[in-house]
Chain A
Amino acid sequence: MRRLSIKSAIALVDQELRPIRDTVIDISDDEITGIGRIPGSNNVVTWEIHY
């Protein structure tokens, strides 16, 4: 199993392309397993939606 966590200043996530800041995206075997603040799948952020 290959795991990877990437952090970007802003990410557009979900079908609505919601912009969120400083987000870590966890990937395992090519699949997104978590979207959070620190590496690991159990730290889901509260969406910061700014339209």
Chain B
Amino acid sequence: MGNTLLIPQLTNAHVHVLDYFLMDIFNKYYIDDVVGAPYGLKYYYLRRVNPESLRNGLAMVFRRIRNYGIGCLLAIIEYGRLFTDVVINEARRVGLCIIPLAEPSAFRVYVKPGEEEDVDEGFEDDVRYFVDNGLGVSLISPLNYTMAELRLVSRLSGSRGLPISTHVSETEDTYLDNDLGRALTTLVTGNTVFVHLTQLSEEDLAKIPTLPVVTCPRSNIEFVGRLARVGAMLRRGLKPLIGTDNVALIEPDLWDEMKVMRLLMNGELNSHTILNMATSWAWSWGFGYIIREGETMRGVALRIGYENMSLDYVYEYLTTRISSGDIVYLIDGSSITRIT
């Protein structure tokens, strides 16, 4: 394969793919008006669109994602019952391993006092359908479901070993409404993935048990103007992963994400750690790949553009200089695909 650097294919641990069609209006409106549930344009549109009409657009999104060297994707699927088939089919068509996280159609704008032990019939029906079909479950926020509903998801998904994903403390509002507290009392069994955690202090992070957590740096900068305390997550012993969040806003390119982390968090994160976040730490949660005997081969070969590169410099090279143009091959098992 010539002068190449072979690494495991990357894992994008949090991405919304169904909003790609909103990219031209994303910066023109307040974020909740575009993607907020249930009144944002994304939800309004998805309630009306024929899933088949998104097939070609999704195929293009997934081809781009694949060509960034990504092998595994934790994808949020809004209105999961309607859109899981088309999303999963198109992702697999380009060779992506997709972890589908299907969002129930029923959720609450907010939970009223006295409702905490209620379970919406449509919500339960969706969750049981997802679990029976081997799908993970995506929750918008612990604030959008009653405590009984959160416990139900945890019990049903946890008993099958299926992942649950939920946004936690992405915005100041949700933090002040104690979404973390609700999550910690209901969702810590099973394979729950906490995403964003942008507002959490070191003390808050210390309360989180050893679960997969995901940071989305560029999205967090765009939406809320701050980064999660990834250094504190590491000190807590968590192994954070990296996501790119909304395709409508952020190009789902993990190389750009890693460069931003390297630049903005250099005091707390070194390049080796950043690469672990995008590869082997995801693997440790069952969401990605490493190159080791006995493992399925899922690798990406990157062109080395300089002579005599020192091994001491490899991690820095990857997080500062590599871009999508350096990706030359994807290796999937015994199959090699040249990326042009």
Residues on A close to B: CB < 8 A?
2-4, 6-17, 19-21, 23, 25, 27-35, 48, 50-51
Q: Report whether B311 and A48 are in contact in the complex, using a CB–CB cutoff of 8 Å.
A: yes
> Chain B residue with minimal CB distance to A48?
B311
Cβ of B294 within 8 Å of any chain A Cβ, yes or no, is: yes
| Contact-size category for B | 35 or more
What per-residue 1/0 map shows which CB atoms of B1-34 lie under 8 Å from chain A?
Answer: 1111111100000000000000000000000000
B: which residues have CB within 8 A of A?
Answer: 1-8, 272, 275-276, 279-280, 283-284, 290-297, 299, 301, 304, 309-312, 314-315, 331-334, 336
* Residues from chain B with Cβ under 8 Å of A19 in the complex: 311, 314-315
User: Assuming A21-B311, A32-B292, is B297 touching A8 (CB within 8 A)?
Assistant: no
- What chain B residues lie within 8 Å of A11 (beta carbons)? 5-7, 291
B297 partner, pick from A9, A27, A48, beta carbons under 8 A: A27
A31-B296 in contact given A8-B1, A17-B280 (Cβ < 8 Å): yes
Can you list 9 contacts pairing A with B, beta carbon distance less than 8 Å? Answer: A2-B334, A8-B1, A9-B3, A9-B304, A13-B292, A15-B292, A19-B314, A30-B333, A48-B311
CB neighbours of A50 from chain B (8 A)? 310-312
Contacts A25-B297, A31-B295; is A15 near B284 (CB within 8 Å)? Answer: yes
Instruction: Give the shortest distance, in Å, between A10 (CB) and chain B (any CB).
Output: 5
Given contacts A23-B6, A35-B293, 19 further A-B contacts (CB under 8 A): A4-B334, A7-B1, A8-B5, A9-B2, A9-B4, A9-B304, A10-B304, A12-B8, A14-B291, A19-B314, A20-B311, A31-B296, A31-B297, A31-B333, A32-B292, A32-B294, A32-B297, A35-B291, A35-B292
